């Protein structure tokens, strides 16, 4: 044995249904271990253990055997640990769920090496003596607040990424928009791609990537001057909600990139923009199957104070 440190193991008791099957078959069918992760585990001293001993993936298992996967601990050496207040909704050995405030970037990028959520999370783990690599399952725009899920080992990241690709992760947002959708509830099915003239901007275009957003109008303020809408993403394109709401004539309040100048003429628009101070979008709920326990879990983040202030202002509209 070595002094290598490992993440919390994933164990599986072999049932009579798996009697005589190869280890690799059980790992693929019962646990959904990808080939890439399987190859990595085979090269790890204690990566794949059967009844406490290291085994080859071609070995056969028997009912009552205990199969265990152990992944080496690793850390994000390229991310500078930085003390930061974190609104932690949930954390176990496998997952970290955070309510991200607006104004914070999820992961360091060119020109933004500090002050990101990743810097704060890496520091949080370091303070707890945990050696973990920062692996977000998804990202939110800098000015979008709400629920962010972070995997604490490669298996969890693989499993949740696959759930995401299959559309099995429920992502629910709420947004304050100008105007009100013509249909109170509906679906925006409009492909999205980069604007050829401004690559950082997304547009609806016929030859874009399939993009689907479902929405429900929760409340209409005043004489259809603004609305609170709830949105569920079926796909996860960059800026999808912002682009789709602009597409149906209801851009987000405070969205400088996808706003419509005509709404600036509204007498209360300036005050609303100031109240929000950013695009009025919040990732309210995230639900998925826990990769280890296989239980359905759901996490919710209530509206932050800036959007509550905006809601109070809009509630005064006649």
Which residues are part of the catalytic machinery? 141
Instruction: For residue 177, give Cα distances in angstroms to 218, 226, 241, 244.
Output: 11, 6, 11, 12
3-state secondary structure of 295: coil
| Per-position DSSP letters for 163-228, written without gaps between them | HHHTT-SEEEEEEEEES--SSSEEEEE--EEEETTEEEEEEE-TTSB--EEEEEEEEEETTTTEEE
Instruction: For residue 37, give Cα distances in angstroms to 11, 180, 197.
Output: 16, 47, 40
Distance CA 263, CA 250 (A): 10
Residues facing residue 187 across a β-bridge: 214
Distance CA 65, CA 202 (A): 52
Which residues does 37 contact at the CB level (< 8 Å), separation at least 6? Answer: 154, 155, 158
Distance from the first to the final alpha carbon of the chain = 73
Which residues does 190 contact at the CB level (< 8 Å), separation at least 6? Answer: 204, 211, 243, 244, 247
| Other Cβ atoms closer than 10 A to 111 | 6
């Amino acid at each position: 044995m070595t002094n290598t440190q490992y993440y919390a193991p994933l164990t599986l008791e072999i049932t009579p249904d798996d009697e005589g099957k190869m280890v690799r078959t059980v790992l693929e069918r019962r646990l959904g271990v990808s080939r890439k992760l399987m190859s990595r585990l085979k090269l790890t001293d204690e990566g794949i253990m059967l009844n406490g001993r290291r085994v080859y993936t071609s070995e056969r298992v028997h009912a009552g055997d205990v199969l265990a996967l152990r992944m080496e601990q690793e850390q994000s050496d390229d991310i500078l640990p930085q003390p930061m207040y974190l609104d932690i909704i949930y954390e176990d050995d496998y997952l970290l769920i955070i309510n991200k405030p607006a104004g914070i970037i999820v992961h360091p990028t060119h020109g933004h090496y500090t002050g990101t959520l990743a810097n704060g999370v890496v520091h949080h783990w370091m303070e707890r003596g945990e050696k973990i690599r920062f692996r977000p399952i998804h990202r939110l725009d800098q000015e979008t607040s709400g629920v962010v899920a972070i995997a604490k080992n490669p298996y969890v990241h693989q499993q949740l990424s696959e759930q995401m690709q299959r559309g099995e992760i429920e992502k629910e947002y709420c947004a304050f928009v100008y105007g009100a959708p013509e249909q109170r509830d509906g679906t925006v099915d409009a492909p999205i791609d980069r604007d050829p003239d401004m690559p950082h901007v997304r547009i609806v275009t016929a030859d874009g990537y399939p993009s689907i957003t479902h929405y429900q109008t929760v409340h209409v303020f005043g004489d259809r001057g603004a609305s609170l809408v709830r949105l569920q993403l079926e796909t996860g394109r960059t800026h999808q909600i912002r682009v789709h709401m602009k597409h149906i004539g209801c851009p987000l309040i405070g969205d400088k990139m996808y706003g419509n100048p005509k709404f600036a003429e509204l007498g209360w628009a300036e005050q609303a923009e100031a109240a929000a101070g950013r695009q009025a979008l919040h990732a309210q709920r995230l639900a998925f199957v826990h990769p280890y326990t296989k239980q359905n879990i759901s996490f919710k983040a209530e509206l932050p104070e800036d959007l509550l202030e905006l809601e109070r202002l809009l509630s005064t509209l006649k």
